[in-house]
Amino acid sequence: MSVGNLTVGGTGKTPMVMRLAAGLEQRGLRVAVLTRGYGRRQALPLVINGRGDLSQYRPDLMGDEPILLARRLPDVTIGIGADRYALGEKIIEMEESTPPDVFLLDDGFQHLRLARDLDLVLLDSTDPFGGGAVLPAGPLREPREALARADLIVLTRVDENARTELLEEVRRLNPRAPVFRAGTKFVGAFDAATHRTANLFALKQQPALAFCGVGNPQAFENDLERWGFDVAGLVAFPDHHRYGIEDFKLLVRHADRAGARVLLTTEKDMVNLSVVPPSIPPTFYCRIELELDDEAGFFATLTERLQMAPK
């Protein structure tokens, strides 16, 4: 099954892949993830998992999202490469005695060369269709009418004031797909240098400079404020940005001007910190999970549709 969206930018695909993999495993299914590994230099396909030496996993060779998935899903096999069909075949061969029951195709809604039994599409309710313009004029990867291909739809970051209008538009574009809602759940904050759990009470008392290289940086700042952090400013880098010493020097200057006493980033950005100096102010990263409003109903619908798929 594929997990994807209509727009360029962050709608929560990686947290959804994590939630799907964990939920399907809890229901007795073996799961493997197939992903391109955006921005990696390595051309050859790779197969990794969280049971390996994670300190040896490099984002320039594997991509940041596969490494994050390996850290959070140690029992899930992750195939990285452009040819997802070949990756699937390789994983089946490697795990011949216990092959996966489900392949999750990360960011695969537009990967039409590969057949799938179910398409799950995420829509960021704050900007679901990117103003209606298709690349390069706008952020849509394909016209909004492509939503008709979806078998399941999940609305993320739902604004209650816009929910009725958005639901009506989604139903117009796709009257057959069940629609669910999901939000971002804060799990905890960790010291970037030691990976130790932070004292949240103390952390939230200090002005923080947020920084990230994700598809929707404003959403990260909004989430931090919703979680009770004192956000003094935000520095946004390009998506999948890999950080070096000069970036930290820049961040320290911004923090000094903003009066920030700590730096806050995402767990995905933490993967891309090639060097984590004992910075002043100190750096912390936030761990999140995708939280479904109706998790039982979602997984019941999902497993039912997977069971109906041709064998």
What whole-number distance in Å separates Cα of residue 262 and Cα of residue 249?
14
| Biggest distance spanned by C-alpha atoms of the chain | 60
Torsion angle (degrees, nearest 10) of CA 22, 109, 137, 239: 30
Task: State the pLDDT at residue 161.
Answer: 58
Task: State the pLDDT at residue 160.
Answer: 61
Strands 179-191 and 208-212: unpaired
CA-wise closest residue to 217 among 232, 203, 231, 238: 238
Q: Would you say 237 and 211 are in contact if contact means Cβ atoms under 8 Å apart?
A: yes
pLDDT beyond 60 at 153: yes
Angle, alpha carbons 85-86-92 (nearest 5°): 90
What whole-number distance in Å separates Cα of residue 167 and Cα of residue 165?
6
CATH 3.40.50.300 residue ranges in the chain? Answer: 2-183+291-308
Q: What is the CATH number of domain 2-183+291-308?
A: 3.40.50.300
**What is this structure's pTM?**
0.90
Q: What is the pLDDT of residues 238-289, one digit of tens each?
A: 998 999 889 999 999 999 999 999 999 999 999 998 777 666 799 999 999 9
Strands 31-35 and 2-5: unpaired
Give the number of other CB atoms < 10 A from CB of residue 200: 15
Indicate the fold that domain 185-289 takes in CATH. Answer: Rossmann fold (3.40.50)
Q: What is the pLDDT of residues 48-93, one digit of tens each?
A: 887 877 777 888 888 899 999 999 998 899 999 988 999 999 999 9
